[in-house]
Amino acid sequence: MIKMGFKTLLILPCNPCVRLGDYSLCPNWKVVLKHVGALVRAGILDLASIDSCKPGIVLWGEEYRLTWCDISPRWDRLYGRDPVRLELLADNVARDLRELSLRYKAIAYYVNVKAYRMALKKASEMTGAELTDLGPPKPSPLSYNKHAKELHMILANLIKVGLHQHIRVPGHGQIAGRDNH
């Protein structure tokens, strides 16, 4: 088993299976696990979720604490109407990032939810924690599923060279919280 400080963390969006106590039971996590499961089983990649229920970042395996939750992160129904809620999410993600950035060599996210992407970027700026945006290029389920197949190669590269090399992923690869010029 690899020490926590040498691992990479991949943040994914939450899903309704939080009510069942396991994010991996839903299609959005299944498609990602299909492509990065070997890295998880090898002990070099951990998964987490950005979740409206906590709100904040929840490590995979800890979601059983949120089975009461029934909050959807839809922009038009939740965050777009209530900027205070979006600010609260960003603040809580920043709190979690402060701890997680000490525990992981690299942190990346693959999130197709507008509010979650905004909160991750803002939290990165607030904390100075480097996050790598792995996409998908469009905030839609179709784009999420289509581009998930690229994750294994991208993450293997990220793990190999680390964020300090400032790798760029074609079409993605922006490092949040850092001037990319």
Distance CA 143, CA 140 (A): 5
The average confidence (pLDDT) of the chain is: 85
Q: Could you give the angle at the alpha carbon of 62 between the alpha carbons of 49 and 28, nearest 5°? A: 35
Per-residue pLDDT band at 177 (split at 50, 70, 90) = very low
Q: CATH no. for residue 87? A: 3.40.50.10630
Would 166 be classed as within a structural domain? yes
Cβ distance 115 to 82 under 8 Å?
no
Q: What angle do CA 24, 74, 61 make, to 5 degrees?
A: 25
Whether residue 165 lies inside any domain: the answer is: yes
Q: Report if residue 60 sits inside a domain.
A: yes
**30, part of any domain:** yes
pLDDT at residue 17 in the model: 93
Q: Scanning the structure block, which residue is given the tokens 């290029």?
A: 137
Residue 179 has pLDDT above 90, yes or no: no
Distance of CA 107 to the CA centre of its chain: 8
Residue 155 in domain? yes
**Residue 5 pLDDT grade (very low, low, confident, very high; cuts 50, 70, 90):** low
Residue 137, domain extent? 4-176
Segment 63-101, tens digit of pLDDT:
999 999 887 777 777 888 888 999 999 999 999 999 999
92 part of a folded domain = yes
Is residue 3 predicted with pLDDT exceeding 50? no
Name the band, by pLDDT with cuts 50, 70 and 90, for residue 59: very high
Q: Which band of pLDDT confidence, cut at 50, 70 and 90, is reported for residue 55?
A: very high
Question: 164-173, pLDDT tens digit by residue?
Answer: 443 343 344 4
Specify if 181 maps to a domain.
Answer: no
Note whether 62 and 51 are within 8 A (CB).
no
Rounded to an integer, what distance in angstroms lies between the CA atom of residue 161 and that of residue 145? 26
Angle at 97 between CA 157 and CA 168, to 5 degrees: 25
What is the domain count for the chain?
Answer: 1
Checking if the pLDDT of 158 tops 90, the result is: no
